[in-house]
A and B are shown apart, each in its own frame.
Chain A
Amino acid sequence: MQERNRAWRGLDWPIIFIYLLLVFMGWLNIYAAVYSDEHSSILDFTQRYGMQLIWIFFAFALAIVILMLDRRIYFVFAYFFYGISIIFLIAALLFGRVVNGAHSWLQIGSVGIQPAEFAKFATVLALAKLIGVYNFKILQPNSILKICAILFLPVVIILLQNDTGSAMVYLVLILMLYREGLPNWFMLFLAFMVLLFILVIIYSMTTIYILLFSLTIILFIIYGNKTKEAIIYAFSSAIAGVIIYLISKYGGYSLSLDKIVLISAFIGIPLVLIYAFFRRIKLIYYLSLFLFVTSSFALTVDYGFHRILPIHQQKRLNDLLGIEADPQGWGYNVNQSKIAIGSGGFFGKGYLQGTQTKFNFVPEQSTDFIFCTVGEEWGFLGSTVVIALFAILILRIIMIAERQQEAFARVYGYGVASIIFFHVVVNVGMTIGLFPVIGIPLPFFSYGGSSLWAFTILLFIFVKLDYSR
């Protein structure tokens, strides 16, 4: 009895409690989302809420099994799980059922599962095992190579499955890697790249090049203490730009403006590099590299966005960034979703009283857009409570991860926190028009066995690791 009591007490109850609460709320909202008078029994198994109840029981069973297994299994078999999940991913790619244009479903009997959901915890486990070994140095080329290999193998397969949303989730593991040693400047650089990405979509390439070039010069002035040289360089580049412009205009070359800016920015680079070599100013190398990398990135994004990205995704991004609007066309989902959430007001319309979600104005209302039901029926108050629960859960996981003595458990914890964080922010963000529409579920909330089980496994392995600390 004593033994038993201690066993219970060793679990992190706040996490489990929030988990149960979120699962329960999710189920209530699925019921509300598909509620209709004909099928009003909450235990109707022909309906999604009935099915979800079955998934929930299985999830609980899974959680208990995970807690009962020896914790060493997760460490020892980390690569094994990873390998299995890769095999499943490939199987889904080859034999998978196509749902919404993605080869991401594997049919086993009458049950369809999404290997991409399960690959998350396996990948995090594998990374945790890799990074968690004693004296692991993340910045060594060898380490970077290994990390990239583990990380990008599932990403590539999932991308091949045409499930961009799920693939993007893996990017968030950068947060975990940051905790384990990625330098600050790298994160800043990444943040800058994200910003650049958005700017490229909004503004013309000419503006972007001028911006990058100016930024490089400013960085040089700040860090290089060479104001005079910087100004001379900027000035001569500008003159070069004018000359090129005149040549192209009257020489019959008709270069576009962005090319003229690009050429005039880079035309002086060889001279500068020679100057840097003789004066031994390392900063110039870095800044040249910065200019080169960011410009190439901008060019790639621009090309990718306008030439490669399917038109509907282009429009989604345009809609999000407020460049174009078409609430009846491709902006329909987000617009309806915002209407549903916006109509909730402070207290919401009350449980089962939502009209927008119930009458199918919002698409995918029980899966990706489940948050609409929360927003409409429970209002700002309920939405904030749900958001707060997620925030507390994630912060609690980070806190617990930090108190782990083993690097393996800590790394894994950060992985869990990052993945849940990404899902919540992107999912909720898309329903309220902060993010483009990326079809990923809201953890513990959205309808679907694979998603619920995968998150349950992800979370409870961590609870188990913490329990056995």
Chain B
Amino acid sequence: MQLNITTDKKYIIAGIVLIAFIIIVIKLFIIQILEQSYKLSASNNVLRYIPQYPARGLIYDRKGNLIVCNQATYDLMVVKNEVKAFDTTEFASILGLSKDQVKDGFVQIRRVKGYSPFKPSVFLKQIPAKTYAILQEKLYKFPGFEVHPRTLRTYNKKIAGHLFGYIGEVDDDMISKNSYYQLGDYIGINGLEKSYEKVLRGKKGVNIYMVDVHNRIKGSYEEGKFDTTAVVGKDIVCTIDADLQEYGEKLMRNKIGSIVAIEPSTGEVLALISSPSYDPELLVGRDRAYNYKILQGDTLKPIFNRALMAPYPPGSTFKIVNGLIGLQDGVVYPTTHYGCAGGYPYGRGVGCHIHPSPLSFIQAIQMSCNTYFCYVFRSIIDKSGYGTIEINFSNWEKNVKSFGFGNRLGIDLPNETRGNVPTVSYYDRYYHKGGWNSLSIISLSIGQGELGTTPLQIANLAATIANRGFFYTPHVVKEIKGEAGIDPKYIERHTTTVDSTWFNYIVDGMEMAVNVPGGTGTIAALPKIKVCGKTGTAQNPHGADHSVFIAFAPKEKPKIAIAVYVENAGFGGTWAAPIASLMIEKYLTDSISRPELEKMIFDAILLNRYARKK
């Protein structure tokens, strides 16, 4: 019996040993084979991916002048655990900080997500090259600090801030949306920088290093087999003529509004001005956030890109569209005459200025007769034999939209707005079904009412007329270096619903408006070049009328089509027309024949004219 018990104990002890070892093997099986997370943690532990930032692509203007380029700056990094006592006073004075700011810097770095005392944290961002030169020599005195080179933008001409946009550091939201970006990366936030971000940014490279527990680099991983080199961003040639852009911004100084100039034969945007503009250099680097806030707080809204985002009423420039639709629909002929006795007498009535009467179609364009186009518009909407007002209005709407109104044209810049072209259902809602007629919406005949068009769309109208009936989607990039051609949607011809022949009458009318006495835009006439133009005076609820002018030149084989908006500046012939004329002359002849006119524009201060009729 005693013997039995002891032998049993032998097996019990052996059993305990075996069970313990089996448990260990099972646990090993779980963590080595079943559980995958440890393998991931291991590579996270030991591999450090150091991104290699490529230089961002440069931007040239259409003549090949370098406009947007890169400047080197330096991020001062600190590895907290490697910092030893150092001369704070000297350190602070090199960096131009106070001692408290240096102390505060050490507090700040801890607040960043993913902070580790073993990893480099950004201590001070974007130190200018000058400071870096001094710092570099003394850096040995400050163990734990190191400098990482970065590139920022700089501008050879301080122009086109709206167009180029700006770059900034990615935020958490962008990182979570796009895995390419990591904390500290730069990204185009607006303008060209945003829409061509993928082209300009190039491709980040990565060097994979193995690090030990203190994050000290122990060598490159697998002898750099998996490292990738950074690919430099592609350069862009934009369609902008930098001289013209600069000149336009100068003309628009102290005025609110926009100029858009397009090359009709290609749809290339020659100048895109929104005034007031700002120095793009303001939105570079460390001061960006501060300056942005100031710009944002400005009551004149300098950040707002009026060229693409302001849906102004088109005013009289829209008579061209109604005239073309009327000709196409056969409700008016070039020979049709209407009398005008100071206004359109029906409904609430529409006033008109003093001019000879009656007028032919071409003369009506020349003299911008409101009455004439009220007749035309009512004929379009009320023409018999074609069905109801709804059908006729829908046709009109379709025709208007074929000119690119009411929808985004699709320019290669962000934040373009659609503008507005009213629809049948809109009026059915606004009045009630059947509760409106051509008289209720008569304002549309002279480009008022519910119409909203951006300066870009109006410039596109000028280009369409210059082309006698078609346009190419306006765009700002001419060439991406190293890529064959641009987006095919910019070489696709868009034809309007109006036959090409009808455009000739409009062109003649516009020619006369500028070149024949009695025309509304005679101030825009140039000595050797036949400019065709059309004035507009857009009433608006915000104050005095906007001064509008569209034009193209020369009449045959036009090289430039332009739209000018000057907010609250009154009659289109007074301010917008001379500005357009100067722009055209500058572009076509590269000289100015009327310095006194130029001086007048330069000197004009057309701000604060909000109060109507003062």
Contacts and interface: CB of A to CB of B under 8 A. Distances in A.
Interface of A: 37, 175, 178-179, 336, 338-346, 355-356, 359-361, 375, 379-380, 383-384, 387-388, 390-391, 394-395, 398, 402, 414, 417, 421, 424-425, 428-429, 432-434
B25 A384 contact: yes
B38 A339 contact: yes
Interface residues of B, number: 36
B17 A339 contact: no
B29 A342 contact: no
Nearest to B18: A391
A355 B214 CA distance: 14
Nearest to A401: B10
Interface stretch (B92-100, B184-192, B205-213): B205-213
19 contacts: A175-B16, A179-B9, A342-B35, A342-B41, A343-B38, A343-B41, A345-B33, A359-B218, A361-B213, A375-B32, A383-B25, A395-B14, A414-B13, A417-B17, A425-B20, A425-B24, A432-B27, A434-B24, A434-B27
Nearest to B32: A380
A424 to B, nearest CB: 8
A359 B32 CA distance: 20
Interface in B181-221: 210-214, 218-219
B28 interface: yes
Given A339-B41, A341-B38, 11 more contacts: A178-B13, A179-B9, A179-B13, A355-B42, A355-B46, A359-B218, A375-B32, A383-B28, A391-B18, A395-B17, A421-B20
A356 B6 contact: no
Contact of A359 (B9, B27, B43, B213): B213
Interface string B1-24: 000001001101110111011011
Contacts of A179: 6, 9-10, 13
Interface in B249-266: none
B31 interface: yes
Interface centre among A340, A355, A434 (most CB of B within 10 A): A355
A346 B33 contact: yes
Contacts of B14: 395, 398
B17 A387 contact: no
Interface centre among A339, A342, A391, A434 (most CB of B within 10 A): A342
Contacts of B16: 175
B46 A359 contact: yes
Nearest to B6: A179
Nearest to B11: A398
Interface of B: 6, 9-10, 12-14, 16-18, 20-21, 23-25, 27-29, 31-33, 35, 37-39, 41-43, 45-46, 210-214, 218-219
B212 A425 contact: no
B211 A359 contact: yes
A13 B223 CA distance: 46
Nearest to B219: A37
B16 to A, nearest CB: 7
Contacts of A394: 17
Contact of B39 (A345, A359, A425, A428): A345
B21 to A, nearest CB: 5
Contacts of A355: 42, 45-46, 210
A429 B42 contact: no
A390 B42 contact: no
A-B residue pairs, 5 tightest by C-beta: A342-B38, A343-B42, A359-B212, A342-B31, A355-B46
A398 B10 contact: yes
Contact of A178 (B9, B43, B210): B9
Contacts of B25: 383-384, 387
B598 to A, nearest CB: 69
A178 B14 CA distance: 12
B213 A175 contact: no
Contacts of A343: 38-39, 41-43
A418 B27 CA distance: 22
Contacts of B213: 359-361
Given A342-B31, A421-B20, A175 B13 contact: yes
A391 B24 CA distance: 11
A69 B43 CA distance: 53
Given A178-B9, A179-B9, A343-B38, A361 B28 contact: no
Nearest to B214: A360
A398 B15 CA distance: 11
Contacts of A346: 32-33
A297 B404 CA distance: 88
A343 B31 CA distance: 8
Contacts of B21: 387-388, 390-391, 424-425
A428 B24 contact: yes
B28 A341 contact: yes
Given A338-B38, A384-B25, A361 B31 contact: no
A346 B39 CA distance: 12
B218 A383 contact: no
A432 B24 contact: yes
A341 B211 CA distance: 18
A380 B29 contact: yes
A38 to B, nearest CB: 11
Interface centre among A179, A339, A384 (most CB of B within 10 A): A339
B23 A434 contact: yes
Given A359-B211, A394-B17, A402-B10, A341 B24 contact: no
Contact of B13 (A338, A398, A433): A398
A176 B79 CA distance: 55
Contacts of A387: 21, 24-25, 28
Contacts of B10: 179, 398, 402
A262 B142 CA distance: 63
A428 B25 CA distance: 10
A380 B42 CA distance: 16
Contacts of A178: 9, 12-13
Nearest to A395: B14
A341 B31 contact: yes
Given A355-B210, A356-B45, A361-B45, A380 B33 contact: yes
B211 to A, nearest CB: 7
A377 to B, nearest CB: 12
A360 B214 CA distance: 8
Contacts of B212: 359-361
A336 B41 CA distance: 9
Interface centre among B6, B32, B38, B219 (most CB of A within 10 A): B32
A340 B38 CA distance: 8
A402 B12 CA distance: 13
B254 to A, nearest CB: 60
Contacts of A384: 25, 28
A384 to B, nearest CB: 6
